[in-house]
Amino acid sequence: MSEFLLLYRSTNEAHQAVMGSPEKARESMAKWRVWFDDMTAKGQLRNMGLPLQRTGRVVRGPGSSVTDGPYAETKEVVGGFSIIEARDATHAAEIASACPIVALGGSVEVRPVMALPD
């Protein structure tokens, strides 16, 4: 088994449509809880992670230029992350396909976690 990072992405418009009112936010969070509970029961959820604010800064280049972000060149924003355990990348993508954000027009980026040498 290997660890994989799931990065949850959506547009600001999609986020607002799902979280724009207390009732919509409760409905959305209930779906996420069911998904997290299912992964936990199957021993797949290593770290639930955290949601992220929709704004931030990007620091790049040798001069460490700072721009408003998170990423000006894309419409999708990383809204949070989790770490799961899966047999391989195909299995991790299968797990990610059940994420509630996918049904709402968002996406999940699946990245293998690299093991560092001792």
Of the candidates 87, 84, 78, the residue with the CA atom closest to the CA atom of residue 111: 84
Alpha-carbon span 21 to 9, nearest angstrom: 20
Which helix H or strand E contains 91, and what residues bound it? helix 89-96
Mean pLDDT of 29-34: 96
Q: What average pLDDT does the structure give for the chain?
A: 90
Mean pLDDT of 47-64: 86
The CATH H-level (homologous superfamily) assignment of domain 2-112 is Dimeric alpha+beta barrel (3.30.70.1060)
